[in-house]
Amino acid sequence: MGHHKHLQIGLECIRRNQDLRRTTTHQQRTPTQKSSRKHHPITKPAEMAPRHHRDVPDNKLNSWFPNTQSPVIISAPMLGAANGALAAAVSKAGGLGFIPGGLDFAPGSAQLAALADELTTARRLFGLADRTLTPLPVGVGFILSHASLVHFEETAIPLLQDHSPQAVWLFAPHPEHVVSGLVGRIVAALKNSGFIVVFQVGNVASARRAALDGADIIVAQGADAGGHQFAGGAGIVSLVPEVVSMLEREFAGRGIVVAAAGGIVDGRGVAAALALGAEAVVMGTRFLIAPEASTAEFQRKLVIETEDGGPSTSKSSVHDDLHGVRANWPSPYDGRAIIGEPWRDHLKGVPLEENIKKNQEAKAAGDVTRLVTWAGTGVGLVKDAIPAGDTVREVREAAQQRIRHLQTLF
C-alpha cells in the first residue's frame, strides 16, 4: 500500500471517528452484549455511522474498543510505572490504556494480587459496577519470560475473567515456551475467553510466530523503545513496513492490526508511524512523567532533564546484569535505559561484581543515583508533566494536523 494511501486512510479514520463520536455514547454495554462477547459483538462503527468511502477497510480497533478515537494511542503496560489510574485516564481520553501484570504467575503471586487491585481502581474510575457483566475498557499486559508461565491458565485467566479487561497484551516469551506450544495454548485460551490478544514483537520472525499463534493485534516494537525489547532490533522505519508486508502476504484475510512502538512521543511520531503502515501507536516513555504514573520522583526528574535520547540512553543486557534482573530476560531480549553511573563504571572496566556491590550499597544508603531508569530514545522530547488524558488528546490532535498538513504538500 502506497504512502499516500496510508495518509488518506489516516484522514479517513479521523473523519469516521468524528462521525462515530457524534452518534454513540461511550462504552455502556449491556449484559446481553457481554454474554456473547466471545465473538467480539461490540456494535461496529459501520452500523452506527455512515461510511463515506467504501474503499477504506473497517477500522477494527474502533470496533473492538468503541471508546477509542483515531489515530488510536495506546499506553504501554510498563511494570513499575503504569497502573490502573494511568490506563483509565488514557482510555477515557479515547486511547487504550494498559495495566502491567508482571511476569510471576505462581499461585499466590504478589504481582497478580497487585494487578487485581489496579483493575479494581480502573473500574472505580470508570464508575462501572458488576465486574464480569460490564467489560472494562482497558487492557492488561504480561511478560511471558518466567518459568511460572506454566501456571498462567490456572492463575491469570480466572483473574482476567473476573475483572473483564478488553484486551490482553503478551510480550517476551521464553523461546522454550514458544517451541513447547505453551504460548500458543495461552493465546487460544485467552481468545476462547473473549479477550482481544495483543502480542508485542521485535522482528519479522516473532511477528509471524505471534500471527500463527492467533494474535489479533501485533505491536511492532522498534529498537528506540524504552525498557525491554528484542536484542537484535531494528527501528520502526524498517520494522513496521516489513511486518505489515509479511502479514499482508502470509496472513491475508486475517486482518491483523499492526501498532508501532518505540521512540514515538508526539504527533510527528504518530503521523510517521501511520505512514509506515501502522494503524495505531504505543507510547511508553512519554507517559512516564504523567501525574497518574507510579514513576519514582528521581526518575521523573531524570526523564525531564535528559536530552538527546540516542547518546543518553543505551540498549544492552548489561543493565539486567547490573540491576539483578538477568534471570527474567533470556537471550533474545535486552533493554534500553538512561545512561547512569553503573553504565559509566561498566564502560570504565569496573568488574560486574564490584559494580553490583556499589549499586546495592547505594540503594541501602538511600542513594537513588545508581538505580536504573528504563526509557527510550524519545526521552529528549518528554518535558510536559501533564495529565495522561491531555497527552492523548494533544498527541492525537497534533498527528491529525500533521497529516492534514502533509496532504497540502502534494
Ligand X SMILES: Cc1cc2nc3c(=O)[nH]c(=O)nc-3n(C[C@H](O)[C@H](O)[C@H](O)COP(=O)(O)O)c2cc1C
The residues assigned a catalytic role are: 228
DSSP E strands, 103-237: 136-143, 165-171, 196-201, 217-221, 227-230
CA 287, CA 310: separation in Å to the nearest integer?
19
* Residues 137-176, interacting with ligand X (CB under 6 A): 141, 143, 171
227 contributes a contact to ligand X by CB under 6 A: yes
Of 63, 68, 109, 285, the one binding ligand X by CB under 6 A: 285
For ligand X, which stretch binds (CB under 6 A), given 149-157, 239-247, 281-289, 317-325? 281-289
Cell of 197: 490478544
CB of 109 to ligand X, least distance (A): 15
For ligand X, which stretch binds (CB under 6 A), given 25-33, 78-86, 186-194, 324-332? 78-86
Of 261, 290, 293, 388, the one binding ligand X by CB under 6 A: 261
Cell of 310: 540516542
CB of 341 to ligand X, least distance (A): 19
Residue 156 · residue 113 · CB < 8 Å: no
Instruction: Show the site string, 58-77: x = touches ligand X by CB under 6 A, - = not.
Output: ------------------xx
- Cβ neighbours around 122 below 10 Å, total: 27
CB of 236 to ligand X, least distance (A): 9
Residue 261 · residue 279 · CB < 8 Å: no
Size of interface with ligand X, in residues (CB under 6 A): 28
Of 126, 152, 199, 374, the one binding ligand X by CB under 6 A: 374
CA 93, CA 192: separation in Å to the nearest integer?
29
For ligand X, which stretch binds (CB under 6 A), given 61-69, 125-133, 189-197, 259-267? 259-267
CB of 246 to ligand X, least distance (A): 20
Of 49, 274, 375, 382, the one binding ligand X by CB under 6 A: 375
DSSP state of 308: -
Within the chain, what is the greatest distance between any pair of CA atoms?
Answer: 65
Nearer to ligand X by Cβ, of 226 and 241: the residue is 226
The DSSP element (H or E) to which 261 belongs, if any, is strand 257-261
CB of 19 to ligand X, least distance (A): 30
* Residues 203-222, interacting with ligand X (CB under 6 A): 221
Sheet containing strand 333-338, strands side by side: 227-230, 333-338, 313-316
Of 262, 277, 342, 380, the one binding ligand X by CB under 6 A: 262
For ligand X, which stretch binds (CB under 6 A), given 28-36, 53-61, 153-161, 225-233? 225-233
226 contributes a contact to ligand X by CB under 6 A: yes
Nearer to ligand X by Cβ, of 115 and 256: the residue is 115
Listed in sequence order, the residues at least 6 apart from 165 whose beta carbon sits closer than 8 Å to its beta carbon are 99, 119, 135, 136, 138, 139, 140, 195
Of 42, 49, 78, 182, the one binding ligand X by CB under 6 A: 78
Instruction: Show the site string, 187-206: x = touches ligand X by CB under 6 A, - = not.
Output: -------------x------
Nearer to ligand X by Cβ, of 91 and 285: the residue is 285
CA 142, CA 145: separation in Å to the nearest integer?
9
CA 337, CA 340: separation in Å to the nearest integer?
9
95 contributes a contact to ligand X by CB under 6 A: no
376 contributes a contact to ligand X by CB under 6 A: yes
Residue among 72, 409, 321 at smallest CA distance from 219: 72
Amino acid type, 345:
D
- Cβ neighbours around 72 below 10 Å, total: 25
Residue with cell 536530552: 307
CB of 374 to ligand X, least distance (A): 4
CB of 16 to ligand X, least distance (A): 26
Which residues are bridge partners to 283 per DSSP? 75
The DSSP element (H or E) to which 155 belongs, if any, is helix 152-163
CA distances (Å), origin 131, targets 101, 127, 137, 166: 18, 11, 12, 12
Name the residues that contact ligand X, by CB under 6 A. 76-79, 81, 100, 141, 143, 171, 200, 221, 224-228, 261-264, 282-285, 374-376, 378
